[in-house]
Amino acid sequence: MRENPERDVCENCGHRAGAPPRPLPPSRDRDEAGRARNSRPRDGLGRPLPYGSVGVERAPEGVLRAPEATLAEAQRLLDAGMPFHAHEVLEDAWKTAPGSERALWRGLAQLAVGLTHAMRGNSVGARSLLLRGVDNIEAYGEHPPHGVNVNGLVGWARGVAADLDVGVHDTHVVPSALQSSALKLSSGTH
């Protein structure tokens, strides 16, 4: 073989002499504009599954929604235990938001990703993203745009982060409602 002609296995790639060539990995998924997109199926927490597996339907990327529709869809996904998918919806809003609201939408997306990490068992990542999300949304607390429940979400995220600091890891953490008008705190949960 290439690295050592006396061996029948390549030391570089592990290919056996005379064996059929290994299948190439799938080419990168691309959208119509040529941007990389990953079409691998994913589970409810956004973890990639092998190609050909049955995953959960993903939120389509790049969808322009009104803020109220974004919040309603993200809340539906959170209620369904799919915070990774809620993050994708919130990320679309962040990318298209006016400058004065960008930090709000970025923070909401970070809260959803923080919850994703908590549910995956990654306490360090969860705490970090929850607190970054708080940093981004807290300034909107006095006059929250679109009825976002900023103060409730800040309290929820800080409570979860504090629990993670002392080793409490509740995989069934559900955030308070994204909008004050739909306030429905989980019983006994932050």
Q: Which domains does the chain have, with CATH numbers?
A: 22-58 (no CATH), 67-182 (1.10.3450.10)
Question: What's the pLDDT score for residue 130?
Answer: 95
Question: What's the pLDDT score for residue 188?
Answer: 33
Those residues whose C-beta lies under 8 Å from the C-beta of residue 17, and which sit 6 or more positions away, are: 1, 8, 9
Burial class (CB in 10 A: 0-12, 13-18, 19+), 115: buried
Mean pLDDT by 10 residues, the chain (190 residues): 58 65 59 67 82 80 90 92 92 94 97 92 93 97 94 92 84 62 36
Question: What's the pLDDT score for residue 183?
Answer: 37
Dihedral angle computed from the Cα positions of residues 101, 61, 30 and 48, in that order, rounded to the nearest 10 degrees: 110
Question: What's the pLDDT score for residue 190?
Answer: 40
Question: What's the pLDDT score for residue 86?
Answer: 93
pTM of structure = 0.73
